[in-house]
Every structure is written in structure tokens, then in C-alpha cells.
Chain A
Amino acid sequence: MAPSKLIQPDRVHRSVYADPAIFELEMERIFGRAWLILGHDSQIAAPGDYFTTRMGREPVIVARQGDGSVRVLINRCMHRGAIVCAEGRGCASSFVCPYHGWTYDTDGRLRSVPVPSGYASDRTGELGLRRVPRVSTYRGFIFASLAASGASLEEFLGPARSSLDDLVDRAPGGELEVAGGVFKHVYRGNWKLMLENHLDGIHPAHVHASSIAASRGAPEPGPPGEESYRDIAIRQMRQNAMPEPVWEAIGLWTTARGHGYMGDYHDDSRLVAAMGNPAFQEYRARLAARQGQAEADRILGVTLWNTILYPNCSFMSQFRQLRIVQPLAVDRTVVYTYSFRMKDAPQQMFRDTVAFANVVNGTASWVLTDDLEVYERVQRGLSSGAAEWVYIARGAGRDIDEQDGTRRGATGTSEVFIRAQFRAWLDYMNER
């Protein structure tokens, strides 16, 4: 079936989640074209620093060059095809293939091969590691695109830039640093399922019912000065029980590229730095000292929850969590979750971030494990051919087009963000 037949205004065909042929086409037309977030400048601070990751299913090396620029190379030897760099991350002066010792500079150029006299002609100039054609950064975040041409990164991000601004602006020193370890969780479900969950305000009361109930029975978190490590976990689990009118009332915006972001639902002053809890006093003071009081108030006045950058990222600007989605197969996905330390913020701010990461994004989290279970159940359900369509009509027909180019849901529980993702999906899939 042609992609355009699979996407309708209020429903999508189950094959977009379950058909391996559709998945192949997505890897070529979506992950092969869109700007994909790969990581952050702080992961490769010095020349020679590198990390490996995937763009769709392409294995890549992201390497800092001597001139400070970032280059993204296909991690595949041009001789017989072995992965040349398997270390994950490090600092290198060259990448050496383990098979026959083909040696590449960190900019990808082929430096040497063993016994070069074995070749009739010298083709080293054209046998460098393949370069990913477009690389760009925004506020320290590294993006790349496998397509040689297309919209600029800034155009691609569009109004969703404001969420990345929010993430970075909160650092008193104006910069972030990846820190605190990386959670890598796998689920047996399609890559889109996670992106369709992170702006969904109906699901917490149902998916997270058991962690909400358990946390309600926990001892009350301590007042300022008598706080405990566990408070962040208990407070966050309880927040998932916000009543439906709260979810209905929050803003939910989408962009033409399928990105989306929503207003925050937190009312817990120990979790939200803007809310006046004494625990954040020093942080707010440092932000005001660097930015001025008015700008600090503006920064802390932005209240966003999750932002989706379609097709491979979801992040929480207020809580400094960023998740990169890597599709493995039509029914298997891995998600890497990073935490960030804010430059020049008090140590306790990062300790809170780590505690928050553990409860929300930890592999054994009370919260995340139930999300993963549901993704897997959806995938199993969608393998049934007897019922063909997936219904995404909540709020349909009531979406509001805003001046800044965003499309907003009529309420915070609208499925406008899923419709926006499929609108972008169709654009990528149809583009020739």
C-alpha cells in the first residue's frame, strides 16, 4: 500500500508499526533525510575525541577535528567492510581497521594500507571513510543529516528551537555538560511508539497507576533542610497522578516537521526550580548574577515538560534529560538517555538531576518499566491483521494554527502531536 493510503486524518494503518517493508522505507526516507541529533559538544571536547553511534541503522563515528569542527564518518572500512571503530568513545589520532590494518585519519582520509605495492594504482584519495554530508550544531547539540541537501538545521528545528534554548538557558554558566552515566533501554516495539507516548497526558494515570499508588503510601518528603535522597523519586511518582483537568489545561504545540512540546504539569516546588523552594535559592541567585534578575525570571518562568524532535529525540528541558531513539528493527528499538550538568550551578542541582533520571529513565525505574511494557503490548496487538486501523482522533478537527507556525491542540490531552508526527512522516515518505 502506498504511504499516502496508510495515513488518514484521524487514523493510521497498523502496518506503519508492523510491516518490515515500511520500516526499510522509513530508514531510507526519514532517517536517511532528516536532521538527527547525535549528541553534545561536551562528549567530544578535545581534538581527536570521538564517540560512535547510529544514524538510523548506519554506524557512525562523531569526531572532533583539529580545527574544532565536528565530522561524522560512516563507521565501515572501505576495504572489506568491517566496523573500524568499536570502542564506543575515546580519543584517537587515527582509526585502524582490525582486519587488514587500513588506517584512517580522524577526518576520514585513508592514511595508509599495508603492502601498497599490491595495488595497480593508488586510490587512497578516494577510499577515505564515507562522510555524512551535513553536520551542524545548535546550542551545543550535534546534529547530522545523511542527505546532501535539504532544509537547514535551524529551519528544521523551527519553533522547537525554543525548547533547546530553554534547556541551555537554565545553566548559570550558559553551557551544559553530559554527565552522570547513560541509560540504554531496549523495547520490543516500533521506534514511533515512544515518541507517541511522551506528550500523552492521558496515559500516566493508567500506565503508572501502580507507582502512583506505591508512592502515595510512602512517608511524606522532608521539609527544606531535612530532605532525603528518596524525596525526588516519591515526589515525581506522585506528580503522575495530576487530575485530568490539569492535563486538559496545559499547552501542547506541534510543528510542520513533526516536532512537539507541551507545557509542564508539575506543581511540586521541590522539583521545579522556579517555585520558590529554599533548596533552589543558591541556583536562582547564581542565574540572576549571570543573567540579571529579569532575564533569570524569564528563563525560570518557562515551564515546559517533554519536547519531541522528530524523528529521533525526546527531551525534558527543566529536568535536563535527553533521550535519543535508535530503531533496530520494525519491532525493536533502543533508547539512550543522557543527563546534563549545568555549568556553574550548585552541586545539589546535578544530584537532583541524577535522582530524577533514576526514577524516570532508569532501566529498573518504577515508572519507565511500565511504559516499556505497554509499548511491547501495543506492538503485539498491532501484529493482528483482524483490526487494521489505529485511532488518533482525540481533539481532531479542533487543532489551532498559531501565528508562529505551530499547531496547538485544543486541549493538553489532544492527540495533535501524533497527527503532526504522521503529517511529517508522510512528507518524508512521499518526497522524491
Chain B
Amino acid sequence: MNVEQFLYHEARLLDTQQYEAWLELFTEDATYWVPLEREQKDPFETSSIIHDDRTLLGLRVKQARHPRAHARLPLARTVHQVGNILVLKEEEPELLVASTLTLVEFRTERQRVWGALVEHRLRRTPDGLRIAHKRVDLVNSEGELDGIAILF
């Protein structure tokens, strides 16, 4: 699977709510980061909307399946529109890939639109490409936001 197809595959897993399969796309040492601030350098001394290792990311998937996950029942329906895919750097076995994300979310009679600049650090493994790091910079990360119960 090439890089473009891989990113579309990732988006498809999220939009079809196959979160467990989506989680499998991440390496064991992966990090998933949605910074709070524009051009944020550091996730340890500045808060983040999400800053997860693979374990914490797994807890989001588990929570979403819980019968009393109030903010996630029903799960939002989403469309992840991935575009402007650009390989920024290749250093075997890893690739740094930039893309843009336009996301439409619908839940409980409300539709929301998100926009983000995304970076994936993808690693070539015997099982194919895997995500070692994903950074999602929401254009409104510093804005006044409703609670976020979806995955970008």
C-alpha cells in the first residue's frame, strides 16, 4: 500500500467506526498528539487537547465501546476528507508525511466541521506501513470549543 492509499485506509477505518482496527495501525511506541497551541513545541509543559501514547489511545477506543459512555453514545458519524498529501522527508525506515484534514461530524442533531494540518511519521514494518507519530493541528485549537469525543 502506498502512502496515499494508507492515509485513505486510515480515514476509512475511522469513518466506518472500526476503531480497534485503526488502533492496530499504530506502532507500540506511537504517540498521537493534538496540540492546544499553534506551533506548540512541547507536550509536557504545555497542555494538549490530546497527547496519548498507544496505551492512552487504546483507552479512548475502549471508552467509546462502553455502554455508559454518555458523550459517545451514539458515536458521532464522521467523514475524514484527507488531502494535499505530501511526503516531506524520507529516512529509512520512516517517512514524514504532511496532509490536510477536513472532518464533518454529526451527532445528536448537531453537525460540526473541523479543519487541521496533519503530520504522520510512518514506519515501514514487515506488516506494512505503521503510524509512529501523528500530529493534528486543528485550525481552531485555541478557540472556545465544545467537548471533543471523536478521533481525528
**Is chain B a partner of chain A in the same complex?**
yes
Supposing A364-B149, A372-B147, A373-B70 touch, asked if A217 and B62 sit within 8 A by C-beta, the answer is yes
Complex Cα distance, B43 from A355, in Å, reads: 9
B-chain residues with CB within 8 Å of residue A184 when the two chains form the complex = 142-145
How distant is A144 from chain B, measured CB to nearest CB, in Å? 21
Complex Cα distance, B69 from A206, in Å, reads: 10
B-chain residues with CB within 8 Å of residue A426 when the two chains form the complex = none
State whether the Cβ of A427 lies closer than 8 Å to any Cβ in chain B: no
Q: Which of B44, B143, B148 contacts A369 (CB 8 A)?
A: B148
State whether the Cβ of A57 lies closer than 8 Å to any Cβ in chain B: no
Interface residues on B, range: 35 or more
State whether the Cβ of A179 lies closer than 8 Å to any Cβ in chain B: yes
State whether the Cβ of A185 lies closer than 8 Å to any Cβ in chain B: yes
CB of B44 within 8 A of CB of A351, answer: yes
State whether the Cβ of A181 lies closer than 8 Å to any Cβ in chain B: yes
State whether the Cβ of A366 lies closer than 8 Å to any Cβ in chain B: yes
Q: Which of B55, B146, B148 contacts A230 (CB 8 A)?
A: B55
B-chain residues with CB within 8 Å of residue A366 when the two chains form the complex = 59-60, 63
A-chain residues with CB within 8 Å of residue B105 when the two chains form the complex = none
State whether the Cβ of B101 lies closer than 8 Å to any Cβ in chain A: no
Chain B interface main SS type: mixed
Supposing A214-B66, A370-B70, A370-B71 touch, asked if A185 and B46 sit within 8 A by C-beta, the answer is no
Residue of A nearest to B150 (CB): A364
State whether the Cβ of B56 lies closer than 8 Å to any Cβ in chain A: yes
State whether the Cβ of B103 lies closer than 8 Å to any Cβ in chain A: no
Q: Which of A183, A233, A334 contacts B36 (CB 8 A)?
A: A183
CB of A230 within 8 A of CB of B71, answer: no
CB of B72 within 8 A of CB of A210, answer: yes
B-chain residues with CB within 8 Å of residue A334 when the two chains form the complex = 144
CB of B47 within 8 A of CB of A180, answer: yes
Supposing A183-B36, A213-B66, A219-B55 touch, asked if A362 and B49 sit within 8 A by C-beta, the answer is yes
State whether the Cβ of A358 lies closer than 8 Å to any Cβ in chain B: yes
CB of A186 within 8 A of CB of B66, answer: no
Interface centre among B40, B60, B68 (most CB of A within 10 A): B68
Supposing A215-B59, A372-B147 touch, asked if A362 and B50 sit within 8 A by C-beta, the answer is yes
CB of B45 within 8 A of CB of A369, answer: no
State whether the Cβ of A300 lies closer than 8 Å to any Cβ in chain B: no
Supposing A183-B36, A213-B66, A214-B63 touch, asked if A369 and B147 sit within 8 A by C-beta, the answer is yes
Supposing A183-B36, A362-B48, A364-B49 touch, asked if A209 and B71 sit within 8 A by C-beta, the answer is no
State whether the Cβ of B12 lies closer than 8 Å to any Cβ in chain A: no
Supposing A183-B36, A214-B59, A230-B56 touch, asked if A339 and B47 sit within 8 A by C-beta, the answer is yes
Complex Cα distance, B55 from A215, in Å, reads: 10
How distant is A135 from chain B, measured CB to nearest CB, in Å? 25
Interface centre among B55, B58, B70, B145 (most CB of A within 10 A): B70
CB of B63 within 8 A of CB of A181, answer: no
State whether the Cβ of A254 lies closer than 8 Å to any Cβ in chain B: no
State whether the Cβ of A207 lies closer than 8 Å to any Cβ in chain B: yes
Residue of A nearest to B68 (CB): A209
Given contacts A180-B46, A230-B55, A362-B50, 8 further A-B contacts (CB under 8 A): A183-B36, A186-B145, A209-B66, A214-B60, A218-B55, A364-B34, A366-B59, A374-B70
B residues at A contact (CB < 8 Å): 34, 36-37, 40, 44-53, 55-56, 58-60, 62-63, 66, 68-72, 142-149
A residues at B contact (CB < 8 Å): 179-188, 206-207, 209-211, 213-215, 217-219, 228-230, 233-234, 237, 334, 339, 347, 350-351, 354-355, 357-358, 362-364, 366, 368-370, 372-374, 377
